Amino acid sequence: MSSSVSTSRGMLPSARLDAHGSNSGTPGSFGQSVPEFNDTDETGLLSVSWNQDHGCFAAGTTHGFRIYSCDPFKEIFRRDLKSGGFGIVEMLFRSNILALVGAGTNSQYPPSKVVIWDDYERRCIGEFSFRSDVRAVKLRRDRIVVVVEHKIYVYNFTDLKLLQQIETLANPRGLCCLSHHSNTFVLACPGLQRGLVRIEHFGLNMTKLIKAHDSHVACLTLTMDGLLLATASTKGTLIRIFNTMNGTRLQEVRRGSDNAEIYSIALSPNVQWLAVSSEKGTVHIFNLRVRVVGEDSSNHSITAQGPAPFFRNSSNSLDALISPNAGANPGSSLSFMKGFLPKYFSSEWSFAQFRVPEDTQFIATFGSQNTVIIVGMDGSFYRCSFDHLNGGEMLQQEYHSFLKKGHLES
């Protein structure tokens, strides 16, 4: 496997999207053609993905891409092509920089090429070409990470220099996640054995291998500082939380008893809640019983409403804690017989739930003040709230069909 890189006059400083949802810049073109958008054209959705702080999401479409703000919900901008669409659109926080990978039908941008696009300048500022299709692209302010079937490439953002190559097991899902604190760079990806997760602590020059599951890993995510890892396997029944420093398993929760494909896992910013979406048509919320403990924990306030045993900081020390919080995950009535009955009967089940159509893939993340944001491949956007003390069924607060004309009508 090899890659080639080309640049266009070096990398440019980022210009932030303004608060009114516009993106200023000089007129230009995306490649050779950017036609005026035509609402009569039928637009299909190829991908949806959150930006790094989950305040926006990008939609790759059969005609180009669109960028949306989550709170308030609003389309920020769109770019449309005559040559085809994009299967991967990766934002860099809320800046003008995007990583784009063409869909198979895109005549100008093949799925084996990554384009680093500056939408402020309306031009490509770098390209990466590979011998096989790109499965995922992840961005940090200082790094570009490209995932292909059996390898992960890590590049420096300023000069596009290749820094490291990581061999993985076959990775058709493009599984890879990064931390996003400026003082920690952690990468998680599949290892070279089934169920194994490889953790790279680049700042510490340390690699940690975690045996997360007996089956293949199907989904994974890190906290913003990279100190906690959440994983699910292809069975999709259990979600596990690990300490990335020493590999300790801190908690295990159960989505259900039947096997299911897990579409997304999200950790709330205060590490109090875990959200999981799957093919079963339910978004589950779990209460987490872990906290980050360090020397400066007293200097950090808890942002969640109600009692919460969680403290966030940049320390490398993590301890598991049994939470006294009233909002605990329900367990089996036979859990007192743990050790005598199968593991199923001592499982922690979800604290809150929201039903979505089963025939559509959804991704979920956390909004502000005990809300969950859900985006579907059918072009649907949901905002739901949950009772942080009693749990139960979540309440729908907002709904949009964002691919349709007049999508801001709820």
For the segment 117-128, what is each residue's pLDDT rounded down to a tens digit?
Answer: 999 999 999 999
* pLDDT higher at 309 or 170: 170
Unique residue bearing structure tokens 């039903």: 355
Report the pLDDT value the prediction gives residue 7, as an integer from 0 to 100: 59
* pLDDT higher at 265 or 107: 265
Q: Is the pLDDT of residue 182 over 80?
A: yes
408 in Cβ contact with 366 (< 8 Å)? no
Rounded CA separation 322/330 (Å): 14
Report the pLDDT value the prediction gives residue 404, as an integer from 0 to 100: 80
Q: Is the pLDDT of residue 8 over 80?
A: no
Q: What is the mean pLDDT of the chain?
A: 83
Q: Is the pLDDT of residue 323 over 50?
A: no
Q: Is the pLDDT of residue 184 over 80?
A: yes
Q: Is the pLDDT of residue 406 over 90?
A: no
- Classify 117 as helix, strand or coil: strand
pLDDT tens for 110-163 read: 999 999 999 999 999 999 999 999 999 999 999 999 999 999 999 999 999 999
Report the pLDDT value the prediction gives residue 407, as an integer from 0 to 100: 52
Q: Is the pLDDT of residue 242 over 80?
A: yes
Rounded CA separation 291/289 (Å): 7
* pLDDT higher at 327 or 404: 404
Cα dist from 354 to 110, 240, 307, 395, 396, whole Å: 37, 21, 23, 8, 8
* pLDDT higher at 83 or 392: 392
**Torsion-angle region of residue 125: left (phi > 0), alpha (psi -120 to 50) or beta?**
alpha
- Type of residue found at 338: K
Report the pLDDT value the prediction gives residue 41, as an integer from 0 to 100: 58
Q: Is the pLDDT of residue 9 over 50?
A: no
Cα dist from 129 to 4, 98, 318, whole Å: 5, 16, 40
Lowest-pLDDT choice from 37-46, 234-243, 397-406: 37-46
* pLDDT higher at 54 or 22: 54
Percent of the chain residues past pLDDT 70, beyond the cut: 75
Average confidence (pLDDT) over 5-23 = 44
Torsion of CA 234, 239, 241, 246, to 10 degrees: -30
Report the pLDDT value the prediction gives residue 22, as an integer from 0 to 100: 35
* pLDDT higher at 311 or 270: 270
Rounded CA separation 357/279 (Å): 9
Cα dist from 41 to 61, 64, 100, 375, whole Å: 12, 12, 22, 22
